């Protein structure tokens, strides 16, 4: 799923192309992507774009509404397989995976989704109050104070992985960047939030800032080199430290990256850097192996 760095760069790239222009036409290809009926989606056509921003993991396009104080908002949630692609004016937009197309004077933005599970969504809402109703309420992690970060972290007693990826606690962090943050902070993904001392919380706060800012800057630079649009939006990047790198060497200590598999997700971590060499039980494999499950890297 595209997370804070990816969605930020999507919003910045789209803003540079369409802010101050009009949304000429919206073509809904898959009707299931549209999750609102009022205002009708056709009513957004012809309205000027005031700006583009981010709401959690959503891209938000602000349009001139019925009155200056009542803007309208197109809210695109990419979920796991949704992507945004830009095509210059006059270029053919491929039909494969296309959910909707948004035509502007300078080109067309295609909203696509790979696979057969249709989870991506499009909402059109009127007014800032309606937009605020879609906000899960998580703290914006970049630029947050240590005090605000600590308050959100300790609001419940959950594993660090769950706390970081809870949209009601922190905005925009998902499976991939939570792995990278916890590796940078040298903290176990299954450690409970209220078990952390002040130094560990400060380390986690700093790691969160560093990882998200560094990767946003990297993706921003990549988009600039690719003509002003992010081309490769993926949760599996070769320069990640641990996420998606099961069995590969940790870039810090060289130990093989480990993982915990659950449902369709997995948590990647370095046992040597994050858990004192202890292997975390995998819900599937560890139950199968039982007493044969290795407890440490040495085992």
pLDDT, one tens digit per residue, over 138-150 is 999 999 999 999 9
In 3-state terms the chain splits into helix, strand, coil percentages (rounded to 5) of 30, 25, 40
pLDDT, one tens digit per residue, over 27-83 is 999 999 999 999 999 999 999 999 999 999 999 999 997 666 789 999 999 999 999
CATH number assigned to the domain comprising residue 256: 1.10.8.50
CATH number assigned to the domain comprising residue 93: 3.20.190.10
Nearest to 154 by CA among 203, 193, 198, 199: 193
Nearest to 81 by CA among 234, 223, 226, 245: 234
**Is 298 part of a structural domain of the chain?**
no
Do residues 285 and 221 both lie within one domain? yes
H or E element in which residue 60 lies: strand 58-67
pLDDT of residue 283 exceeding 60, the answer is no
H or E element in which residue 175 lies: helix 175-185
Contact in structure between 61 and 11 (CB atoms under 8 Å) = no
Name every residue whose Cβ is closer than 8 Å to that of residue 257 and which is 6 or more positions away in sequence.
242, 245, 246, 247, 248, 249, 250, 268, 269, 270
Do residues 75 and 155 both lie within one domain? no
pLDDT, one tens digit per residue, over 204-235 is 999 999 999 999 999 999 999 999 999 889 88
**Is 45 part of a structural domain of the chain?**
yes
pLDDT, residue 117, reads: 84
Structure tokens, 91: 């270029």
Do residues 235 and 260 both lie within one domain? yes
Nearest to 269 by CA among 179, 205, 184: 179
**Confidence band, pLDDT 50/70/90 cuts, at residue 298:** low
**Is 139 part of a structural domain of the chain?**
no
Distance CA 49, CA 47 (A): 7
Do residues 215 and 272 both lie within one domain? yes
Contact in structure between 54 and 4 (CB atoms under 8 Å) = yes
Contact in structure between 159 and 267 (CB atoms under 8 Å) = no
Span 108-129, mean pLDDT? Answer: 94
Domain of 278 in residue numbering reads as: 146-292
């Amino acid at each position: 799923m595209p997370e804070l760095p990816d969605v930020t760069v999507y919003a910045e790239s789209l803003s540079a192309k369409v802010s101050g222009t009009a949304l000429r036409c919206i073509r809904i290809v898959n009707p299931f992507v549209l999750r609102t009926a009022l205002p009708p989606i056709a009513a957004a056509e012809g309205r000027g774009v005031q700006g583009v921003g981010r709401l959690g993991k959503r891209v938000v396009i602000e349009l001139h509404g019925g009155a200056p104080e009542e803007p309208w908002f197109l809210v695109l949630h990419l979920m796991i397989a949704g992507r945004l692609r830009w095509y210059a004016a006059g270029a053919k937009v491929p039909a494969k995976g296309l959910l909707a197309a948004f035509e502007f004077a300078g080109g067309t933005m295609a909203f696509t989704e790979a696979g057969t599970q249709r989870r991506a969504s499009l909402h059109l809402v009127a007014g800032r109050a309606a937009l605020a109703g879609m906000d899960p309420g998580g703290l914006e992690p970049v630029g947050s104070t240590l005090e605000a970060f600590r308050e959100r972290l300790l609001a419940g007693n959950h594993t660090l992985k769950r706390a970081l990826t809870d949209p009601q606690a922190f905005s925009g962090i998902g499976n991939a960047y939570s792995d990278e943050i916890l590796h940078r902070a040298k903290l176990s993904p299954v450690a409970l939030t209220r078990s952390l001392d002040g130094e560990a919380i400060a380390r986690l706060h700093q790691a969160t800032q560093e990882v998200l800012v560094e990767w946003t800057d990297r993706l921003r630079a990549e988009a600039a080199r690719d003509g002003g649009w992010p081309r490769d939006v993926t949760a599996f990047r070769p320069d990640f430290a641990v996420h998606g790198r099961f069995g590969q060497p940790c870039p810090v200590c060289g130990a093989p990256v480990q993982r915990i598999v659950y449902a369709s997700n997995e948590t990647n971590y370095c046992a040597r850097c994050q858990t004192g060499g202890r292997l975390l039980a995998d819900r599937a494999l560890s139950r199968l192996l039982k007493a044969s499950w290795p407890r440490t890297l040495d085992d």
